[in-house]
A = this chain, B = another copy of it.
Amino acid sequence: MRQRDIQFDASGQLRHFLTIEGLPRQTLIDILDSAENFATVTEQTVKKVPLLRGKTIVNLFFEPSTRTRTTFEVAAKRLSADVLNININTSSTTKGESLLDMLHNFEAMHCDMFVVRHDQSGAAHFIAQHVAPHISVINAGDGRHAHPTQGMLDMFTIRRHKKSFNRLVVAIVGDILHSRVARSEIHALNILGVPEIRVIAPQTLIPRNAENLGVHVYHDLREGLYGADVIMTLRLQRERMQGALLPSEGEYFRRYGLSEKTLAMAKSDAIVLHPGPINRGVEIASSVADGMQSVILEQVSHGIAIRMAIMSMVLGRKPDKED
């Protein structure tokens, strides 16, 4: 199993966190259980634990994202790590060689972790393949490929509300084709044993091989939402509107936007998730985003706990077992 090789060290401990695809169920459960403890920490008056004191974490952002960078920075500081924020203009470092020289420099400074955001799929894997043995890499979103910490915080949010995964109907609504969030969610839901995963979108926003992902495809929103326990909405990249893939925003909302009316098709205790930032009135109505069934802000809180869990897990490996 190729992904397993690179994400785990020789003694079988999680070293990198690049994608959820191919991870064993127990690894996901361990992360969720660990995050439960950190969720408690962040609710205390002193929200800081000394677990990563003396560690240096580098936020390597090749794609600007204040929002995601901030969640990693907050998580790292609550673990007492030192944080370096490095924003890299990809235009000046697209040559693989100078990228590697830069990475080796951070390694030589005895940095411990790279949190990588990149607009190209596979960038975090590429970096993980080339770093020194003492470095861990966390994928903070790469192209259309994966956003695994987002996927895990969504699972954490679902588990807090639904207790277990093995009887759920989960519907993912929106631009599945271009979404790294959807891809990570689908892998996690499958691994955790969700029996029915649905994706709902117009034909143009569904990947060709969708059924191979272990999902049921719906083009009709009401039909897809019928009886769902969990509704995961996706952000619609407004730039997609420019092309021929989509009709207008208004038309999109009318057909695929989650409104109070369409939400009523799901179970009465269904929860609504969104990875943010929200396009109100495009993929979701404000009344739903701010409504009783929305857990969108909980997701943000859980994102800190999940990132603390993953960071402390990969950096807390026993060094004597290191590959």
Contact = CB atoms under 8 A, between A and B. Distances in A.
Interface of A: 42-48, 53-56, 66-67, 70-71, 73-74, 77-78, 82, 84, 86, 97-98, 101-102, 104-111, 276-278, 280, 286, 297-301, 303-304, 319
A265 to B, nearest CB: 26
Contacts of A46: 53-54
A47 B56 contact: yes
18 contacts: A47-B54, A56-B77, A66-B86, A70-B86, A71-B109, A73-B84, A74-B111, A77-B82, A97-B286, A101-B276, A104-B297, A105-B300, A108-B298, A108-B299, A108-B300, A108-B301, A110-B301, A110-B304
Contact of A110 (B43, B104, B278): B43
Contacts of A55: 47
Contacts of A86: 66, 70
A38 B98 CA distance: 28
A236 B273 CA distance: 50
A319 B70 contact: no
A300 B97 CA distance: 17
Given A47-B56, A105-B300, A108-B300, 9 more contacts: A46-B53, A70-B84, A70-B109, A77-B82, A101-B277, A104-B297, A109-B300, A109-B301, A109-B304
A102 B280 CA distance: 13
Nearest to A42: B110
